[in-house]
Chains A and B, each alone.
Chain A
């Protein structure tokens, strides 16, 4: 390259393109970087009148309270659900895609895909109402059926033990259609001659799956799983807030960091929950960075940065 240009010349040469980036830069500054500065409030006794930087500094007081209190329960729930969803997301997605690939009729495939993708377009509010048709303690489908068989009805919305299963099921119900499509697309990309030559060598269905299908999906599975691991300390607020209907009795098994912090906001426990939020952000950051280091080792071309 030529000798280094002066910063002013560089600016003049790029100012037109720079201008195009301004709206987005302003947005990220105001709505993402300013809140990062606002984290300071986690170390203060925040009051609206004093403002973020005018409030009394209290050091790590809120972190101590959070760490000694609810940390274990909400973190266990957050990570437990996220981990379960990642594993089951892969298993159900691959399973559905492989079976979908075995369907011969193109019209049938298209129909199945369209139907299974529908929940993806619903809000969690709508999903929570659909679930309520089944779980409504008085008129719900399940309790009506139980009663008609002479079995005692189940009080779903006051029994936390059932909710890990219900939330997991609803999460799969909403996401499996979309999730399987990406694996299906990968299956379509496998060279058919591989299967043909395997058949000639006398390979059965299971052998073909084991030695052709699965190995060709492994890179995609690996990268999607690793990327998802970056979100281990986050959960879908809608699922955990709307589907259990924010019922207090269910918090032991439904409360995750996101819903916990939201409730803290409502109760006006601002600094305490800013501290919980900072904990979540830091853990998330550590998760993403360490996952990225692993990806760099396994397949550098798929690393994020």
Chain B
């Protein structure tokens, strides 16, 4: 028995040790982002990025907020497209998933196939781009963020599968009481489907918050930049300034290198862009996991 206990303790030390090592591999890079954002550029140049800066400085943040308009604007655009885009998406997908879950809906198979086929085959990026810009006029339009990713065949199937499991007597008795389909959807289906609505909403919300590819493709107007895209943009700008100074030593007279904390600034921007979701989303991780498991079940 004593032997056995020793074995268990040893096993726990090994397993936990492995995970603590793993977690260090995950946490250190994130901590480095935070500490780098509080470093002075001089120190980064001398010592490299460090976990324990000798001087803590908010210089990068104050530089970013000297011209806060761009950041505030990117937050506004990202928040707007995240909230409105998620509501539009979940509503559109829920409204189609409900009829598809009804066995007595005559067009069920045809519509399921119409949607499912888009998972198997696509026209590709270039034809989509041409149609979105030449015909639909989505270039430099906020609608690009809201409409292009409006619905996903996969998430519709996830929702439909969940709706199918609800007792059909509820719908039938509501119909006898004279309720219309739209009313049944909002007063019976939605309240009973909170888990799947939460999963799908968070899925969509994460995608919208982290959106930058649509900006890359369709947006040139700075006022419509998303947060993640602005982050990438600032990265490029800082790099440009540095390369410019490296290639033309004479240029140091024109721009004081130290006035632009280009190195720490990009990490201050990273904290601002990634921070909110990293704080909020882990609380909802069980819904993300639920989405993955539903997805593994037959559609």
Contact = CB atoms under 8 A, between A and B. Distances in A.
A261 B122 CA distance: 14
Interface string B122-136: 111111111110111
Contact of A102 (B15, B36, B118): B15
B98 interface: yes
A65 to B, nearest CB: 15
B1 interface: no
B29 A121 contact: no
A24 B270 contact: no
B185 interface: yes
Nearest to B129: A265
| A interface: dominant SS | helix
Nearest to B283: A114
A38 B130 contact: yes
A79 interface: no
A265 B132 CA distance: 13
B74 interface: no
A143 B106 CA distance: 65
B124 A123 contact: no
Contacts of B298: 301-304
Given A31-B148, A41-B127, A20 B45 contact: no
Contact of B111 (A25, A261, A305): A25
Contacts of B30: 118, 130
Contacts of B84: none
Nearest to B105: A17
A93 to B, nearest CB: 11
Contacts of A28: 114-115, 118, 151, 153
A242 interface: yes
A242 B128 contact: no
Interface residues of A, number: 98
B93 interface: yes
A261 B185 contact: no
A144 interface: yes
B274 interface: yes
Interface residues of B, number: 91
A16 B181 contact: yes
A160 interface: no
Contacts of B235: 125, 129
Contacts, number: 257
B158 interface: no
Interface string A118-134: 11111101100111011
Contact of A119 (B26, B111, B292): B26
Nearest to A113: B285
Interface string A1-41: 00000000010011011111101110110111111111101
Interface in A226-246: 227, 237-238, 242
A112 B19 CA distance: 7
A133 B33 CA distance: 8
Interface stretch (A70-78, A83-91, A207-215, A274-282): A274-282
B36 A133 contact: yes
Contacts of B11: 102
B32 interface: yes
Nearest to B297: A302
A22 to B, nearest CB: 8
Contacts of B16: 103, 105, 108
A270 B130 contact: yes
B282 A121 contact: yes
The 9 tightest CB contacts between A and B, nearest first, are A277-B124, A35-B123, A38-B127, A24-B96, A144-B48, A123-B210, A17-B99, A274-B126, A35-B127
25 contacts: A21-B111, A24-B156, A28-B114, A99-B15, A99-B18, A103-B12, A112-B23, A115-B23, A117-B285, A118-B278, A121-B210, A126-B270, A126-B273, A129-B231, A133-B36, A139-B44, A139-B45, A139-B48, A177-B26, A178-B289, A182-B289, A182-B296, A265-B126, A274-B127, A281-B121
Interface of B: 11-12, 15-16, 18-19, 22-23, 25-27, 29-30, 32-33, 36, 44-45, 47-49, 92-93, 95-96, 98-100, 102, 105-107, 111, 114-116, 118, 120-132, 134-136, 147-148, 150-151, 153, 156, 180-182, 185, 206, 210, 212-213, 217, 228-229, 231-232, 235, 263, 266-267, 270, 273-274, 277-278, 281-282, 285, 288-289, 292-293, 296, 298-299
Given A103-B16, A129-B270, 10 more contacts: A24-B92, A28-B151, A30-B131, A35-B124, A37-B123, A116-B26, A122-B210, A130-B30, A141-B48, A182-B289
